Structure 1
Amino acid sequence: MMRILALLLLVWPLGGLAQTAAMTEARAAAKELEAAAGMLDKAEGARDRVQALTETIQAFEKGLGAMRDGLRQAAINEAQLSKKLQSRDGEVAQLFGVLQTIGGTPSPTAFLHPDGPVGTARAGMLLAELTPALNRQADALRRDLEDVKTLRLLQVDAAERLQDGLTQVQAARTALNQAMANRTDLPTRFTADPVRTAILIASTETLDGFASGLSEIVTDEVEPAPVTLQGQIGDLDLPVQGVVLRRAGQADAAGVERPGIIMATRARAIVTSPTAATIRYTGPLLDFGNVVILEPEARTLFVFAGLDVVYGEAGQVIAGGTPIGLMGERPSPDPAESGARLSPDRDGSGTDRTETLYIEVRRDNIPQDPEGWFRTEKDE
């Protein structure tokens, strides 16, 4: 009987609700992906196809991010629960052995106690009190085992939905590329002289020098940039879904300090204009990769560097939320590595956000802290 009491002290309930949060997140993400898929269908006949596709891609990115989080949480919960169950293999075996003994049909001699009839009666009463507790422990273990099975099934279903979503968002990006190439309705403030632009790029050694020389490449300017940021500074949307990886003035691994911020984004993330602006430059620049420079108001520039694909031409006037490019995607020599991005070991590390976008704000050619212009507190 002391063996049974010791077993009750050792085998604690493991819960049975481990999958609840992960299931809730995965179901919510699945709804977001279904909504995004519906938006993709509607975008085919939308009057402003660029805007419809932009909103669709952003919805997919949000849903895919939520699905990754739900899948990652399910993997974590399943691993933790399995580890707890494995660590209690011996205790579980003891519990099942005791329950099997209790559940059998013993002979009358099995209940005889060395102390005689009184001892036998006391032992029977104690066993009668312990049996419900042992059954509850068995039920808890059974629920935990069912939770493990449920979480594994959830991971399989979520992985399939994730793959479907990735296929659909890629189709939306391809459609956006085509829609942007066919767009001819954007107003133009000026025409960029390609010869002057090439000369400026060739003679420029710093972003400062290029920004200060932008006015030299303008011809046939219709009117100056309108003032549009009054009351918006500090409340502008970030151009991409992501997290701040490095703040202004914070040195990188090489000890280089830059006046802008670096955003960590997921592969192929869409980048949009935070506000109405004039495109001052698009294309490769120095060691920044592809760069888009916007002029939201006179004497103010937004610099976005590190894109893979850029949209638009210098001189065009675009509305807020207009796509200006897509982030890249690092090629992996190992096809299995794409699945590694879902590993629970990567949770919270930001390592699933493999691309970086550099954001710089310049007023009167003086760098400003972008965190004073954009809402950067959200982790999307």
Structure 2
Amino acid sequence: MRRLALILSLLAAPALAQDPAEAARAAARALEQASVRLDEAESARDRVRALTGTVQAYESGLAAMREGLREAAIRETELSRRLSRQEGEIAQLLGVLSGMSRMGERAAPVAMLHPQGPVGAARSGMMLASVTPGLAAEAQRVRADLEEVTALRSLQESAAETLKEGLAGVQQARTALSQAVADRTDLPTRFTEDPIKTAILISSTETLDGFASGLSQIADNERPAGLPPIADRKGALPLPVQGQVLRRAGEADAAGVTRPGILVATQPEALVTTPVAATVRYSGPLLDYGLVTILEPEPDLLFVLAGLDAAYGRAGQVLPEGSPVGMMGGSFEGDNPSPSVDGGGAGRTETLYIEVRQGDRPVDPLTWFTSDKG
């Protein structure tokens, strides 16, 4: 973890764009803090919270590293192409500088020979003196470009290996988190799910709308939630997963189908958490959405998270803010973890569908969540 933090700090060099550099510095700090919290965790709840922070810190760090490496690769490509285009000019520059050096070694009487006599020689000397600083500056710029290319290549080679180590580290943290969630027994329970009623509801509904409308039927002995109100946080909630919005509510997909929710592109195996304290109304497979978790942060408000590969929590549990609710699918195993030069969204191969329902109707999720449209 510490080596990853060191490489992140190196990626925060001035040569890179400011945003990736600051993200790298923040990720390095988060990794160190997450390590301390994990060492100090005692209770099951503390361990889940610390492991959740560890996984999120790893994900932020790896994302910052990929972005930093992408910036470095772009910069190296630009410099290499520029140097390649200027090969002829560089050769001429070296020739001129070499000729100037030989002229400086000649004896003074020979240097004074000129077809126009001493006056012509003086004029030539004045012209040469005025050109020399420019040639020297150009030579210095070329030398600096070459040194920067060398440094960027060295950084990428070192960081690529550390990126692989970071992927192994986050994988271990994810495994430990899954086990910690399974071992957790201290969560309050608001109601008990009736599996028979749930199965009947699933089999009798053909749409997410119909299922959401019948959710109250599956609960036995339900008690009031007692969760804090979140109306004042509307529009400022973080997305449940690190990623970029691919499609907004009402935008058609490639098949021309529109949905009332948003689609978020994520990295493989990204951690999904609840943005606020909420009751798990449902967790499991649903229709053609894959694994689905439906959260209720307050009465008549539902957050639907669909497309999970693993779902944590049981219906009826009350989860604290930031608790893990699932994991995205996919895997980095067997793939090249290095970033693509073509775009910052490279590697986001998984998608999470998010729908928000108030009362009996869906609303635009981006009225509740902040986002980064990719």
Structure 2 counterpart of 1:22: 16
- Residue of structure 1 equivalent to 2:75: 77
Check whether the contact 1:267–1:355 (CA below 8 A) recurs between aligned residues.
Answer: yes
2:249 maps to amino acid = A
**Counterpart position of 1:346:** 343
CA distance in 1, matches of 2:130, 2:296: 78
State the partner residue of 1:174. 175
Q: 1:329 to 1:352 in 2, by over 3 A?
A: same
Q: In structure 2, what is the equivalent of residue 372 of structure 1? A: 367
| d(CA) in 2 for partners of 1:167, 1:133 | 51
| 1-structure distance, mates of 2:248, 2:111 | 74
Compute the RMSD of aligned alpha carbons: 2.3
Show the 5 A alignment for 1:2-17: none
1:330 is displaced (CA, Å) by 5.2
1:226 and 1:298 in contact (8 A); partners too: no
CA gap 1:345/1:230 in 2 versus in 1, 3 angstroms? closer
Whether 2:132 is the aligned partner of 1:117: answer no
Query: Larger deviation: 167-176 or 227-236?
Result: 227-236
Question: 337, 340, 353: which is aligned to 1:358?
Answer: 353
Identity among equivalent positions (%) equals 55
Offset at residue 133 of structure 1 (A): 2.2
Whether contact under 8 Å (2:234, 2:368) holds in the other structure is yes
2:16 match: secondary structure? helix
1:34 to 1:179, Cα distance in 2 relative to 1, 3 A:
same
Q: How does 1:317-356 map to 2 (within 5 A)?
A: 317-329=318-330, 335-339=334-338, 342-347=339-344, 350-356=345-351
**Residue 236 of structure 1: SS of its match in structure 2?**
coil
2:244 pairs with 1:249: no
| Aligned residue identity for 1:312 | G
Report the residue type matching 2:343 in the other structure: R
3-state DSSP class of the match of 1:188? coil
Residues 225, 298 of structure 1: 8 Å contact kept? no
Residue 44 of structure 1: CA displacement? 4.1
Equivalent residue letter for 1:368: V
| C-alpha distance in 2 between matches for 1:146 and 1:224 | 62
Q: Against the structure 1 CA distance between its residues 203 and 169, is the aligned structure 2 distance closer, same or farther, given a 3 Å change threshold?
A: same
Please name the residue that 2:7 is paired with.
Answer: none
Match of 1:214 in 2: 215
Cα distance in 1 between the residues matched to 2:181 and 2:83 = 55
Query: Which of 56, 78, 93 is equivalent to 2:54?
Result: 56
Distance in 2 (CA, whole Å) between partners of 1:110 and 1:343 is 56
Q: Which moved more, 1:203-212 or 1:37-46?
A: 37-46
Task: Classify 1:344/1:99 alpha carbon distance in 2 versus 1 (closer, same or farther; 3 Å).
Answer: same
TM-score, normalising length: structure 1? 0.86
Tell me the equivalent position of 1:100.
Answer: 98
1:125 match: secondary structure: helix
Relative distance call for 1:311 and 1:270 in structure 2 (3 A) is same
Q: CA deviation at 1:227?
A: 6.5
- Match for residue 5 of structure 1? none
Q: Report the alpha carbon displacement of residue 64 of structure 1 after superposing the two structures with TM.
A: 1.5
The CA deviation string for residues 310-348 of structure 1, in whole angstroms up to 9 with x for no partner, is: 10000111111111011111578xx35443xx121123x
- Structure 2 contact 34–54 (Cα < 8 Å) conserved: yes
SS at match of 2:303: strand
Counterpart residue type for residue 106 of structure 2: P
Question: 1:306: Cα distance to partner?
Answer: 0.8
Paired with 2:202 and 2:65, the residues of 1 have a C-alpha distance of 42
CA contact (8 A) 2:340 2:346 kept: no
Equivalent runs, 1:244-283 vs 2, <5 Å:
244-283=245-284
Cα distance in 1 for partners of 2:147, 2:39 equals 44
**Number of residue equivalences:** 355
Q: Compute the displacement of 1:204 (Å).
A: 2.0
The 1-side partners of 2:271 and 2:319 are apart by 16
Gap runs ≥5 in structure 2: 1-12
How many Å apart are 1:112 and its aligned residue? 2.4
2:59 and 2:373 map into 1 onto residues whose CA distance is 13
1:289-320 deviations in Å (ceiling 9; x for gaps) = 11000111112211000111110000111111
Give deviations 1:79-111, integer Å, cap 9, x for gaps: 101100110101111111111111122365465
Judge which range, 214-223 or 80-89, deviates more.
214-223
| Residue in structure 2 matched with residue 32 of structure 1 by the alignment | 27
Q: 1:187 maps to what in 2?
A: 188
Normalised to the residue count of structure 2, the TM-score between the two structures is 0.88
